[in-house]
Amino acid sequence: VNQREILLQKNKDLRPERADKVLERMNLHSKGALSKETLIGLFKLLDQIGPAGKPAKLPELLVSRKNKPENTVVTVAGKEIGGGQPQLVAGPCAVESAEQVDAAAGAVKARGLHFLRGGAFKPRTSPYDFQGLGEEGLRLLKQAGNRHGLAVISEIVDPRDLEMAAGYLDVIQIGARNMQNFELLKEAGRTKKPILLKRGLAATIDEFIHAAEYIMVHGNDQIILCERGIRTYEKATRNTLDITAVPLLKQETHLPVMVDVTHSTGRKDLLVPAAKAALAIGADGVMAEVHPNPKQALSDASQQMNFTEFEHFVNELEKSGLYKHNKVMV
Amino acid sequence: VNQREILLQKNKDLRPERADKVLERMNLHSKGALSKETLIGLFKLLDQIGPAGKPAKLPELLVSRKNKPENTVVTVAGKEIGGGQPQLVAGPCAVESAEQVDAAAGAVKARGLHFLRGGAFKPRTSPYDFQGLGEEGLRLLKQAGNRHGLAVISEIVDPRDLEMAAGYLDVIQIGARNMQNFELLKEAGRTKKPILLKRGLAATIDEFIHAAEYIMVHGNDQIILCERGIRTYEKATRNTLDITAVPLLKQETHLPVMVDVTHSTGRKDLLVPAAKAALAIGADGVMAEVHPNPKQALSDASQQMNFTEFEHFVNELEKSGLYKHNKVMV
Amino acid sequence: VNQREILLQKNKDLRPERADKVLERMNLHSKGALSKETLIGLFKLLDQIGPAGKPAKLPELLVSRKNKPENTVVTVAGKEIGGGQPQLVAGPCAVESAEQVDAAAGAVKARGLHFLRGGAFKPRTSPYDFQGLGEEGLRLLKQAGNRHGLAVISEIVDPRDLEMAAGYLDVIQIGARNMQNFELLKEAGRTKKPILLKRGLAATIDEFIHAAEYIMVHGNDQIILCERGIRTYEKATRNTLDITAVPLLKQETHLPVMVDVTHSTGRKDLLVPAAKAALAIGADGVMAEVHPNPKQALSDASQQMNFTEFEHFVNELEKSGLYKHNKVMV
Amino acid sequence: VNQREILLQKNKDLRPERADKVLERMNLHSKGALSKETLIGLFKLLDQIGPAGKPAKLPELLVSRKNKPENTVVTVAGKEIGGGQPQLVAGPCAVESAEQVDAAAGAVKARGLHFLRGGAFKPRTSPYDFQGLGEEGLRLLKQAGNRHGLAVISEIVDPRDLEMAAGYLDVIQIGARNMQNFELLKEAGRTKKPILLKRGLAATIDEFIHAAEYIMVHGNDQIILCERGIRTYEKATRNTLDITAVPLLKQETHLPVMVDVTHSTGRKDLLVPAAKAALAIGADGVMAEVHPNPKQALSDASQQMNFTEFEHFVNELEKSGLYKHNKVMV
């Protein structure tokens, strides 16, 4: 795809010289009865009509439902995301050791889930905080996934790592801080792996949709969107879960939409209610963090569930009728 | 209740002279090994312990669940809010005429609801926008409620109007713009009518809870809280529905909590999903606007449902299993 | 002024029936070449033109510079606000006693200021916090103002108190929490005293301007606007000082604009720089809090200056050349 | 620098086992008189004291003023940023052609500036918007800088481009969308070129400071911070200029701080007042966009100044006394 050509095409009829000339002529004809704002408004509308009276609208975005009315279903290791049956994704914030990730994978599998998450490259506010185990973390995650029959998801933060990561992961996550790291998005467009794209810390719906478009226009149409809370003045929760973003994104795009309840709330006491709301409003899946021993976790210690809490979490979602138990068949 | 006495009591042990003396002594003893911040932190903690080693904590807020563990159930005309069965509240943004509010009441009743809303005093950004019919609007609302057997709810904005309004209304609403109009809250505390208190445009959970405390400390414990979206950078929706505020408020207080889906989204295409999320997360009720002819409405024309849309709205909530149909028995 | 008539006048040509008919006709003529959005856009523009080809624009707001190009200068006890020479307003957060407010007034006068502020009705988040001395506070403030030759400013929060307050005050303040307390605004429009109107916690510029319009349309054109910081995600400061609101408000309206540096920053270490920025960007005045003994203050103890800090504050502003010393002539 | 070692060192005394044991013991001793929150608070304070009664505080951040009290002065091509004399940086949003950037450079030089900016890699919301000329843009920028004797600044968005870019640029900019692109920050730490780091769209002051720490801890101490407005609910301006961030950043760090008035306001009518506020509050420089023909610009057409407006901009700053004219000596 050559953006330059798209741009030139797009701007062919909108070039400023034309605008100036048309505005001048309209001004003459209206003899001052129309304000400048009205004239500019009229011009913009006329411009959409085009020279032959036919609408010269831009083509719709590739990710938009106007472009493709049917839902995109992302199939990962035989399991569907966006196929009607919501999926849970769980696992530790960070991969810390073979034992830790294996224990977490066991707990995740035992409750019938198909997807294991775990961070290997951790974007941390401070350079002195735990930065993750890197490629070794990906290896440990894949090993745990293989042993327990789980598809694995992890965040990649450097465009130079995408090829390497595709050797370990079933789904590549692009995190909130990198939602507008366009070089990373472009590389993600060039891989064959599904991409889980998280909404930026303070990204608008429109920016989020265009970030997905960067991936799709570069060749990858296997994209899962993930609402994870936005930054607002309210500090009772870590972020504010923008729950209506889910139906909005599903209206505007054909992509599956998940909700990360751990990062949107940052509070273990809100994971169950937030997940119920997400499922009731139509999310295709829910992400949450679980750790064998949260108090000793190297990151986000206070917001990861232990195994008992995770049991309770899945039980409550099943009891609500909003999430259906998956029979374990290893 | 005498706030002054509470204040003096509260501040008895915290008075600045004491703080200064204690800090000075602690500083001497620590020989500079402790930073000023550490010393202040220690002092604050010690202060909570009190002179006799016993916790000298403030009494809990009256609205807090720590003060009263059981749910408050507000009973209006024999119908419960907060009693386990979620209630729908619907009606036009503003009462415009006898015919209009009567038609709306008929539609609301026909779908089995018990509560009719309609604005008579409209707080509008511009003084040139429709300000509501005032007391005449309350009279028309009550008349429509009586004819159709519906309890009626309307917003009051002036402390001088509360007594008059109590003659017309079953529930008095205090709107978002007046959540910290403390004189209005105090008067609301002095009425015998239940109060529906909406969260302020950019109020924190903590400010919202304290606003309810103003009402309760002045004598009225029949309070319903209402989340109605908060102001954020995101403009795809009119406000951002802070859905996790519902479980938070229900944890922190014993009061029923409703969600106004019309004002939080400002979009008719999001009313059904937002209401489902609200019910799934535990809201005690949902408010929405319905008008016989929204296009001709004198306020908020674009966000009110017409009767067909309202039918669909209630049907979808019933189909979801999250809201139970109320048999109509006129 | 009869809002109803203005509304009807305004809506005469915009009534929905007309819109429907015009849209229908335009749709026929364009034979589907124009999208619905384009048609609506065209309609709105045509509507501005009016039937006779002449612009049928709404009259400009009374507060707008388009309505009155010259600056409004508010003269208080012979001193001008908005007259070119910036004014400082200072005093304690709350009036606590005759001694306290007299000491503060002395310090304020000694540095050549003309305006003393002090709260008597304090809008506090918690009902258990100090609520102010009420009318007695106004009396003490006036007494201190008289003794030291200072004009006095205080906040009123209840429409029932405005008449009483006018007997004590030179300028009546309407605080941030009451910026959209429209009943209070309307009463403020009926007094003869100048009004200092603070921007709401999360009010847009447009809402702020319309709040001022409420006052002016009800009869009072002596209005001073005051930027006091807005609520954002950033918590390093109490609020975020929206400094460009000052030139924006001065472009859009003809009213004087002040900046409250105490409430916008909430930090004593930022008062001097914030005040310099305010004066450099064109503010007509700066407000700040000073207290004889901030540590013992009954409200906002940490953000009020003591007398030494206040000395330094005024000295720094004078040294910057942005504020001119007023010779003391008692 | 080995983050892992720093982390382990940092966490030596804070390891969770110890916390559990100490909390348990404290609980026993207090016989339930202390709440759990109080105990945890006490523990955290005790932990800061360390075993020998000596403060075991973390070392201060490298960028902090506590670590280095003197101002960092960044010298670029013999001109100082942070040396007391504020600098202006100007140029087009994007480098579009040799003629365009040369014309802009001429105008910038003619008004006595030393720094030319111009984008070659443009992070754009939509993949269909102009993405910049890439390396060719850097070459044209350097050529224009050389011809007119100006140091050149441009944004780099891909860690793989930093080495290449160092061959063309005097200062490398890291933009708002990449403030937490930690891989890019780490690479920036490894170059020898000064880095201009812009604040993220919704970054806190604390996150901004830690982003700078990423650069410094990886080896580069030539860092200029740049406030460029934050994302808030207010849409009258493109962003909200957080003007008090300037003194805050200068208090907390030893780095120079600039203000980008173009991106913080997004309005040409606010550039002069915003720049005056920035200079008055102590900014070490101001950035603004100027283009030979803004109406034909390929990006941000509405917010770039033309040459006449730029003349006026510099003149007004000089007249204010806040910015001193630099004599042109080619």
pLDDT in tens, A56-83: 455 799 999 999 999 999 999 999 999 9
Structural domain count of chain C: 2
Distances (CA, A) of A296 to A94, A118, A300, D18: 12, 16, 10, 11
Residue C58 lies in a domain: no
D15 and D94 both lie in a single domain:
no
The residue among A225, A248, A281 with the most chain B CBs within 10 A of its CB, best to mutate, is: A281
Residue A324 falls inside a structural domain: no
In a domain, B279, yes or no: yes
> What mean pLDDT, rounded, does chain A reach?
87
The pLDDT tens digits of the residues spanning A168-202 come to 999 999 999 999 999 999 999 999 999 999 999 99
- Residue A319 distance to chain B (closest CA, Å): 12
CB contact under 8 A, C274 and D234: no
Those residues of chain D whose CB sits closer than 8 Å to some CB in chain B are 33-35, 38, 41-42, 45, 48-49, 53-55, 57, 202, 231-233, 235
Subunit contact C180:B123, Cβ cutoff 8 A: yes
Across the A:D interface, residue pairs with CB atoms under 8 Å apart total 105
**Per the CB < 8 Å rule, is C45 touching A41?**
yes
SS in 3 state form for chain A?
CCHHHHHHHHHCCCCHHHHHHHHHHHHHHHCCCCCHHHHHHHHHHHHHHCCCCCCCCCCCCCCECCCCCCCCCEEECCEEECCCCCEEEEECCECCCHHHHHHHHHHHHHCCCCEEECECCCCCCCCCCCCCCCHHHHHHHHHHHHHHCCEEEEECCCHHHHHHHHCCCCEEEECHHHCCCHHHHHHHHHCCCCEEEECCCCCCHHHHHHHHHHHHHCCCCCEEEEECCECCCCCCCCCECECCHHHHHHHHECCCEEEEHHHHHCCHHHHHHHHHHHHHCCCCEEEEEECCCHHHCCCCHHHCECHHHHHHHHHHHHHCCCCCCCCCCC
Residues of chain B with C-beta less than 8 angstroms from the C-beta of C4 = 131
Residues D27 and D157 in one domain: no
Q: Helices B271-280 and B307-319 meet at what angle, rounded to 10?
A: 30
Measured between CA atoms, how close is D241 to chain C, in angstroms? 7
pLDDT of residue D56: 45
The residue in chain B having the minimum alpha-carbon distance to the alpha carbon of residue C126 is: B210
Q: C157 and B10: CB-CB below 8 Å?
A: no
In a domain, B67, yes or no: no
B74-76 and B79-81 strand pairing: antiparallel
Taking CB atoms and an 8 Å limit, are C16 and B217 in contact across chains? no
* ipTM of the complex as predicted: 0.88
- D42 and D78 share one domain: no
- Judge: B45–D42 Cβ closer than 8 Å, yes or no: yes
User: What's the CATH code of the domain at C112?
Assistant: 3.20.20.70
Which segments in chain C show pLDDT lower than 70? 1-58, 325-330
- Angle B196-B197-B200 (CA atoms, 0-180°, nearest 5)? 150
Whether C179 is covered by a domain: the verdict is yes
* C26 plus C97 within the same structural domain: no
Quick one: C14 and C78 in the same domain? no
B282 contacts B249 by C-beta, under 8 angstroms:
no
Q: What's the pLDDT score for residue A239?
A: 98
D154 and D25, same structural domain?
no
Mean pLDDT, residues A266-287: 98
pLDDT tens per residue, range A19-34: 555 555 555 555 554 5
CB A186 within 8 A of CB A210: no
C31 and C120 together in one domain = no
Is residue B54 in some structural domain?
A: no
Q: Which residues of B touch D230 (CB under 8 A)?
A: none
A277 and A212 part of one domain: yes
pLDDT at D162: 97
Instruction: State whether A23 and A132 are in the same domain.
Output: no
Task: List the domain range (segments joined by +) for residue D25.
Answer: 3-49
- Chain B residue with minimum CA distance to A232: B232
Nearest to C296 among B16, B181, B201 (CB): B16
- Mean pLDDT split into 10-residue runs, chain B, 330 residues: 45 46 56 54 49 53 97 97 97 96 98 97 93 96 98 97 97 98 97 97 98 97 98 98 98 98 97 98 98 90 94 97 67
Are residues D96 and D195 part of one domain?
A: yes
Question: Chain A residue closest to D185 (CA)?
Answer: A127
Contact assignment for D280 to C279 by CB distance below 8 Å: yes
Sign of CA pseudo-dihedral D132, D133, D135, D140: negative
Chain D residues whose beta carbon lies within 8 Å of the beta carbon of residue B231: 233
User: Tell me, what's the pLDDT at B299?
Assistant: 85
Nearest by CB to residue A128, choosing from D10, D126, D201, is D10
- Give me the pLDDT at residue C300, please: 82
Inspect the interface and report whether the beta carbons of B295 and C20 lie closer than 8 Å.
yes
pLDDT recorded at residue D50: 41
B87 with B148, same domain: the answer is yes
Nearest to C269 among D251, D265, D269 (CB): D251
Which among B125, B161, B213, B235 is the top mutation candidate for probing chain C, defined by the most C β-carbons within 10 Å of its own β-carbon? B125
Which regions in chain D score pLDDT beneath 70?
1-58, 325-330
Is residue B213 in a domain?
A: yes
Residue D179 is assigned to a structural domain of this protein: yes
Interface test with B, best of D31, D44, D45 (most B CBs within 10 A): D45
Min Cα separation C76/chain A (Å): 37
Q: Which residues contact D106 (CB under 8 A, 6 or more apart)?
A: D148
In a mutational test of the B interface, the residue from C60, C177, C179 whose CB has the highest number of chain B CBs within 10 Å is C177
C273 and C124 in a common domain: yes
CB within 8 Å: D129 and A7: yes
Parallel/antiparallel/unpaired status of strands C257-260 and C223-227? parallel
Sign of the CA dihedral with D245 first, then D251, D253, and D257 last:
positive
Mark out chain B residues that contact chain A at CB-CB < 8 A. 202, 204-206, 230, 232-237, 240-248, 251, 264-265, 269-270, 273-274, 276-282, 320-322
At a CB cut-off of 8 Å and minimum separation 6, what does D179 contact? Answer: D197, D198, D199, D200, D203, D207, D208, D211
Chain D residues with at least one Cβ partner in C under 8 Å: 202, 204-206, 230, 232-237, 240-248, 251, 264-265, 269-270, 273-274, 276-282, 320-322
Nearest CB to A128 within list D3, D200, D201: D3
Q: Cβ separation of C205 and D234 shorter than 8 Å?
A: yes
The confidence score (pLDDT) of residue D144 equals 98
Size of interface C-D (CB pairs under 8 A): 111
Interface residues from chain C to A (CB-CB < 8 Å): 33-35, 38, 41-42, 45, 48-49, 53-55, 57, 202, 231-233, 235
